[in-house]
Amino acid sequence: MRVLLLFGFCVPWLSSGQEITRDYSPLLDKNTSAVNPGIYLRIMPNGLAYLREVGMKVINEQILKLQLPNIREPIENGEVSIYNLQMSKYWAPQEYALDMSEPSTFAWSMSKMHLRAAGDFQATLNSPLLLPTVPITGHFEALLGHISLYITVNMERNANGAPQVRSTGCRSAIGYVDLNVRNTGVITDFFINAFKAFLIGNFKPQVEQKMCKMIESIIDRDMNILLSNMPLKIRINENNLDIIGETFGVAPRKHHRAGKLSNLNAKNITLTHFVQRLRDKELVLDYQMLTAPFVQNGAVNMMSKGEISYRGQGGTPFFPPNVRIPPPHGVHMIEFYASDYLANSMLYHSYRQKFLDVTVGPESSPQLQGLLLTSCGPAGFCLGEFLGTLGEQFPDRQVEIEFFAKKAPLIVFIDDRSRFRLHGGLNMYVRPSKPNQVKQQILKADTTMTANVNLWINGSIIVGNSTIENLDFKLLETKINDVDQDSFSDLGLFGAEFLEKLLTEILQMGIALPTMQGVILKSPKLTFHDRYLKVSTYFKLDEEYAGSLVRGAVGKTLRGPL
């Protein structure tokens, strides 16, 4: 009984001890859920209307370029083969529409379109009188008038988190068929006219059936094969993503190589390139879908994982926060929402891989050239003047500072800005200036920084500025005379001003807004909200690029058996 009481007494202390050793902020465990998305993408009604117009334009431009397959079809008392089939003229549909219906269905309809096709035929008819079968060959030209199509498709998600589509209905109708047959003249005109009527009677329903069969095959087979190849993880240092091209198999293969900056260690790189150096690491964004795309208020919505981790291995110990996404509003075409989980997962794995650790010296920034010295120059302004007898104990030496994160940094999105907090430690050294000298550690301390970060989009570049709200130093060890906690804390005021300028300089260098091959963003706007940021934008498609995708997708189906 005593053992049970002792165990019950110790459990809360054990659990609190685990919280103390947690290597990220406890705020990231509040109001979260494993089912929440890190990224939320919404195609607005205006975006869908634009896609409808572009889609129709691409179809109109590409349909005459399609190579039609040979058709071999059994009929009553024989068989008909059609080959060398080509479309010679196409009249675009006068009416077309793209309609969305909840929960996850869209319908594409076209009507009042006309098509002229020509080719060769061979008909083999079995004689009921047991006479030798005579093949009938010739050339034909067919005009298919008042063609209409109505297709319904359900949007889904496959087991790997990629989008998937499924045809749920197809209706095709041909108003009339006008068929002109030319033959070698061996067969009488009467028989040709009879055969012509026979072909019309059989050709029209066959074409209607083939149209739906082809479309359903494109949707259910080819499109899903393509969508299953969609890359669901991308390196965050790729600014121009060819996700569509990789999915459709038309993009060149990429050989990922580390950037020039990633091959440099922390000591060899300037602080202003720190963000670029971080992006050149093997940090991968996982945007697999958590649910099937769904329709709501006339918009198509997609929820993705939105986790950034080392090599895409995952393992982030916290989940995305609960956020309230507002309903669709406005005339822009796409809305992109990202919770601060996206940034915090990146910061957590950067911390775990020690990507945030950096060594700072006079060479790291122009502002540091005259500052990280023990003996001041003519300006009389350097670290030796601030830290007790540093200049007297170690004259004419450069100062080197090693910084390392002690837990994962925290960034929280709030209205109009984001708040950033960093807990770290630093070791201060004096570098040797003579052959008989060695680098010597002179100080050890902990530091906590809280900053406000503002970001906005300038053209296609994300830029910003920063203000330091708080910068605290806690002295742990020192070999400098006359340096105690009070005098060391005074560096906070000076350090805050310096870091504010440095962070703003880094942010002003900008980060290219990632774009997708074939998609051009127009007038993007970035805003901060409670635990998420929002990018609303217009976009334009590269129609030539889209046309190559249509030819590739439809061509695979037409080359197959019909």
210 and 325 inside one domain: no
Residue 104 sits in the same domain as residue 245: no
Q: What is the pLDDT of residues 63-77, one digit of tens each?
A: 777 667 777 777 666
Which CATH number belongs to the domain containing residue 218 in this structure? 3.15.10.10
Q: Residues 223-258: pLDDT tens digits?
A: 888 788 777 888 877 655 544 445 445 455 454 444
How far apart are the C-alpha atoms of 186 and 182, rounded to whole Å? 11
Indicate the pLDDT class of residue 555, thresholds 50, 70 and 90: low
For residue 130, the model assigns a pLDDT of 47
How does 33-49 read in b/e, with b if 16+ C-beta sit within 10 Å? eeebbbbbbbbbebbbe
Same domain, 191 and 334: no
Residue 319 covered by a domain: yes
CATH of residue 391's domain is 3.15.20.10
Provide the phi-psi class of 176: left if phi over 0, else alpha when psi is between -120 and 50, else beta.
beta
Q: What percent of the chain has pLDDT over 90?
A: 39
Do 83 and 209 fall within a single domain? Answer: yes
Q: Are 275 and 191 within one domain?
A: no
Residue type, position 437, single letter: Q
pLDDT of residue 263 exceeding 90:
no
Residue 551 within any structural domain of the chain: no
Q: Which of 166, 201, 230 is the last residue of a domain?
A: 230
Q: Does 562 fall in a domain?
A: no
**pLDDT tens readout for residues 416-465:** 899 999 999 999 999 998 888 889 999 999 999 999 999 888 887 888 88
Both ends of the chain: CA-CA distance in Å? Answer: 78
Closest CA to 42 of 537, 392, 531, 375: 537
Using DSSP, state whether 280 is helix, strand or coil: coil
Q: What is the pLDDT of residue 63?
A: 78
Greater pLDDT, 297 or 562 = 297
372 and 327 housed in the same domain: yes
What does the DSSP assignment read for 316-327?
Answer: -SS-PBP--PPP
For 554-562, the CB contacts below 8 A with 24+ separation are 554/62, 554/66, 554/218, 555/66, 555/67, 556/222, 557/214, 557/217, 557/218, 557/221, 557/222, 558/66, 558/67, 558/68, 558/69, 558/214, 559/69, 560/69, 560/217, 562/69, 562/71, 562/210, 562/213, 562/214
- Both 200 and 318 in a single domain? no
Q: Which domain holds residue 113?
A: 66-230
Supply the angle between the helices 45-62 and 543-559 in degrees, to the nearest 10: 60
Report, in angstroms and rounded to the nearest whole number, the Rg of the chain calculated over CA atoms: 34
Question: How far, in Å, are 28, 336, 444, 465, 496 from residue 468 at the CA level?
Answer: 22, 29, 22, 10, 6
| Domain shared by 225 and 238, yes or no | no
The per-residue pLDDT for range 194-203, each reduced to its tens digit, is 666 666 776 6
pLDDT of 72 reads 78
Residue 26 lies in a domain: no
My answer on whether 352 and 409 are in the same domain is: yes
Q: What is the mean pLDDT of the chain?
A: 81
DSSP 276: H
Cα–Cα distances (Å) from 48 to 43, 343, 397, 499, in that order, read 7, 29, 64, 45
- Helices 189-217 and 543-559 cross at an angle (nearest 10°) of 120
Write the CA distances from 472 to 188, 391, 475, integer angstroms: 103, 24, 10
Q: Is the pLDDT of residue 367 over 70?
A: yes
- The CA distance from 512 to 529, in Å, is 22
Q: How many domains does the chain have?
A: 2
- Same domain? 278 vs 415: yes
89 located within any domain? yes
Residue 159 domain-assigned? yes
3-class SS letters over 90-127: EECCCEEEEEEECCCEEEEEEEEEEEEEEEEEEEEECC
DSSP H helical ranges for 455-542: 485-489, 491-509
Query: Would you say residue 24 lies in a domain?
Result: no
Alpha carbons 51 and 59: distance in angstroms, whole number: 12
272 and 214 part of one domain: no
What's the full length of the chain, in residues?
A: 562
Q: In the predicted model, is pLDDT for residue 276 greater than 80?
A: no
Question: How sure is the predictor about 191, in pLDDT bands with cuts at 50, 70 and 90?
Answer: low
pTM: 0.81
Statement to judge: residues 146 and 246 lie in one domain: no
Count of CB atoms situated within 10 Å of the CB of 274? 20
The whole-number pLDDT of residue 262 equals 41
- Assess if residue 44 is contained within a domain: no
What is the model's pLDDT at position 125?
A: 67
pLDDT at 13 over 80: no
Q: What is the pLDDT of residues 456-499, one digit of tens each?
A: 888 878 888 889 999 899 999 999 988 888 888 877 777 787 77
Q: Which tokens belong to 329?
A: 């509003």
